[in-house]
Amino acid sequence: MSTAPSDVLNPMDSFWHDDLATADPEIAEAIGKELKRQQDKIELIASENIASKAVLEATGSVFTNKYAEGYPGKRYYGGCDYADVVETLAIERAKQLFGCNFANVQPNSGSQMNQAVFLALLEPGDTFMGLDLNSGGHLTHGSPVNMSGKWFNPVSYGVRQDDEMIDMDAVAATAREHKPKLIICGGTAYSRQWDFAAFRKIAGEVGAILLCDMSHISGLVAGGAHPSPFPHCDIVTSTTHKSLRGPRSGIILWNDEKYTKPLNMAVFPGLQGGPLMHVIAAKAVAFREALRPEFKTYAHRIVENARALAASLEENGLRICSGGTDNHSMLVDLTAKDVTGKDAEKGLDRAWLTCNKNGIPFDTRSPFVTSGIRLGTPAGTTRGFGPSEFRKIGALIAEVVDGLSTNGPEGNGQVEERVRGKVAELCSSYPVYPDA
Ligand code: DSN
């Protein structure tokens, strides 16, 4: 059956060149509202950031049209000249930024970059160690509901009950007992510095490969505001959209050539097909931004702001797990206020402060309820907030939480309205995309 020409989407037709608002008003409206949400609310989710217009432009570029299975110079498709240019630039910039010998910039996400390391270096059933999810670890570091926990044998380490910091003696003892093939350091809700040298010593003693998943702190590492996992770690993975402020994606970095073939083969063809070349182009843009001297200032400012936020929350009666932060994030323990993380997340959202509920160490509540919230400063720092703004934000959070503590899940409407006004003032002084 032939199709009438008028029924075929044709690049020659004028609608092909329509802007999004004309071509798809519903999606355009949702995007417009999302921009307004990002502009009008204060983003405190520790894993989120505000990518530059250049990163957004590259992500939305014509590379979305291109298949480029393989690696630069060795592709399975023709027409990859410019795909090779952007991927090579992304690789070279990633190596320069993190001071390592090799990089794979194709992983589509944080989950896939870690899966690639497992596929490359472990056999199903092999034992590995990672930070317990309840102590701030990540799903892909051995959670029973994740492939890492289903197909492999995870042995977790955690934080001490008294100071909520990682107990390196316990890590060493667990490693000696279980002889893991791989040890993972890095997490999603751990606000203290990682002692990579100590992990190296333990990994060396038991003959384990040492992997750092630096997703949360990679922007700090790039900017010199957190020690680098190199040269201590054998392999380093990172998402690129958190403190590093790039597109949503992942990377794998390493120094020893012996890992090159297994890791590259694991990403493609092991796990992925055609790389997202538009996202790889955007990663290259983000790495270039992070190589600029201003990024160092940004990274240090993130930490300074996190310390100001934590201090303000404490001054206003909220407990910070482990007593503070060395990085971009913190866990706030709401137990003494008798407020759940779930209710706090909702109450703060009503007051235009966006964050996520998060389990605290030794939490007795379920992950859907929790006794805490996780806060972070990368996005607020990008929009220009400094310590004085973050001190104000700490006081506003405490006001909302106190309203919940007194009134239950509904909170205090008057307080929340007043906080919304203060948030609006802050946000209008610091637009996310000034000319958007
Ligand atoms: N979902 C991310 C976070 O918020 O930390 C980790 O993958």
**Ligand 1 atom at minimum distance from 111 CA:** 7
State which residues form the domain around 126: 59-290
| 195 carries an active-site annotation | no
Nearest to 212 by CA among 114, 96, 145: 114
Together in a domain, 232 and 157? yes
Whether the bond between 229 and the residue before it is cis, its omega within 30 degrees of 0, is: no
Ligand 1 pocket test: pick from 49, 133, 135, 215 the residue with the most ligand atoms within 8 Å of its Cβ.
215
Q: Is residue 368 situated within a structural domain?
A: yes
Q: Is residue 299 part of a domain?
A: yes
Do 206 and 355 have their domain in common? no
Ligand 1 atom having least distance to the Cα of 239 = 7
Whether residues 266 and 334 fall in one domain? no
- Is 67 among the domain residues? yes
Same structural domain, 323 and 415:
yes
Which helix (H) or strand (E) covers residue 358, if one does? Answer: strand 356-358
Separation of CA 115 and ligand 1 centre (Å): 15
In this structure, are 227 and 168 located in the same domain? yes
Looking at residue 5, its pLDDT comes to 53
Q: Is the CB of 188 under 6 A from ligand 1?
A: yes
Same domain, 303 and 212: no
- Is 350 an active-site residue? no
Q: Last residue of some domain: 237, 258, 290?
A: 290
Identify the residue whose C-alpha is closest to ligand 1 atom 4. Answer: 47
Asked if residue 26 belongs to a domain, the reply is no
376 lines ligand 1 (CB under 6 A): no
Does 282 share its domain with 325? no
Mark which of 290, 310, 338 sits at the end of a domain. 290
In a domain, 217, yes or no: yes
Q: Which two tokens stand for residue 429?
A: 């002084």
Does ligand 1 lie within 6 Å of residue 243's CB atom? no
260 φ/ψ sector (left φ>0, alpha ψ -120 to 50, else beta): alpha
121-164: per-residue pLDDT in tens?
A: 999 999 999 999 999 999 999 999 999 999 999 999 999 999 99
Residue 21 lies in a domain: no
CATH number at residue 266: 3.40.640.10
Predicted local distance difference test score (pLDDT) of residue 436: 73
Whether residue 256 sits in one domain with residue 400: no
Q: What is the distance in A from the centroid of ligand 1 to the CA of 415? A: 30
The single residue of 239, 325, 370, 381 carrying the catalytic annotation is 239
Same domain, 247 and 348: no
CATH number at residue 322: 3.90.1150.10
Total number of domains in the chain: 2
Q: Is 213 a catalytic residue?
A: yes
Query: 240 and 126, same structural domain?
Result: yes
In a domain, 264, yes or no: yes
DSSP 360: P
* Residue 66 backbone zone (phi > 0: left; psi -120 to 50: alpha; other: beta): beta
pLDDT reported for residue 16: 72
- Go through 18-35 and write b for each residue having 16 or more CB atoms within 10 A of its CB, e for each that does not: eeeeeeeeeeeeeeeeee
In the reported structure, the alpha carbon of residue 249 is separated from the centroid of ligand 1 by a whole-number distance in angstroms of 12
| Ligand 1 mean position, distance from CA 177 (Å) | 30
pLDDT tens for 110-121 read: 999 999 999 999
Name the active-site residue from 40, 57, 69, 399: 69
Give the residue carrying structure tokens 């996992």.
229
CA 48 to chain centre: 6
User: Is 325 found in the same domain as 421?
Assistant: yes
> Could you confirm whether 67 is annotated as catalytic?
yes
CB under 8 Å to 261, separation ≥6 — which residues?
Answer: none
Block residue for tokens 């307004």: 36
* Residue from 45, 113, 138 to probe ligand 1 pocket by mutation (most atoms less than 8 Å from CB): 138
Distance CA 315, CA 324 (A): 12
For the chain, residues with pLDDT lower than 70 are: 1-9, 11-12, 14-15
Distance from residue 373's CA to the centre of ligand 1 (Å):
13
Closest ligand 1 atom to Cα of 140: 7
Q: What gap in Å lies between CA 382 and CA 413, rounded to an integer?
A: 30
Q: Is residue 198 part of a domain?
A: yes
Which of 43, 45, 47, 241 to mutate to test ligand 1, by most ligand atoms within 8 A of the CB atom? 47
Q: Clarify whether residues 166 and 315 are in a common domain.
A: no
Domain boundary among 240, 266, 290: 290
